Amino acid sequence: MTDEWLAYQSLGEIYDHSFVKHKIGEYVRGKVHTNTIEGFWACSKRGYVGTYHKMTRKYLQLYIDESVFRYKTKNYTEQERFNCFFENMEGSRLKYKDLIVRKAFM
């Protein structure tokens, strides 16, 4: 689900694509809306402005992953979120040498 931006038009060739027409004041049509993704990006931007202040390309995916986790668990208590985080840690060890490696595109 998207708005009517031209860049999204070809999505229908690959995905089941529905859109709302913001230009004419349509923001919800049945189950079609962009509120969820707009809410997610608003939370992500607040994390950037209020907590991190700067994000580099090197760690951008990690920042987004954290935003996804926070958004998916937004209705959890702190204890539930803590438990969920550690239940999903198996196999996700980040070694220091992998953390500091420099890649050409950064």
Residue 93: domain span = 54-100
The model's pTM:
0.64
Q: Is residue 75 part of a domain?
A: yes
In degrees and rounded to multiples of 5, residue 36 shows phi and psi of -65, -50
| 65 within a domain of the structure (yes/no) | yes
Total tally of structural domains belonging to the chain: 1
Residue 8 domain-assigned (yes or no) = no
The string of pLDDT tens digits covering residues 46-86 is 888 888 888 888 888 988 998 999 899 999 999 999 888 88
pLDDT tier for residue 28 given thresholds of 50, 70 and 90: very high
- Is 14 part of any domain? no
18 and 35 Cβ atoms separated by less than 8 Å: no
User: Is residue 34 in a domain?
Assistant: no
Cross-strand pairs, 43? none
Whether 35 is in a domain gets the answer no
Answer whether residue 62 is part of any domain: yes
* CB 63, CB 46: distance < 8 Å: no
CB burial readout 60-84, b (16+ within 10 A) else e: eeebeeebeeeeeeeeeeeeebeee
- What pLDDT shows up at residue 10? 93
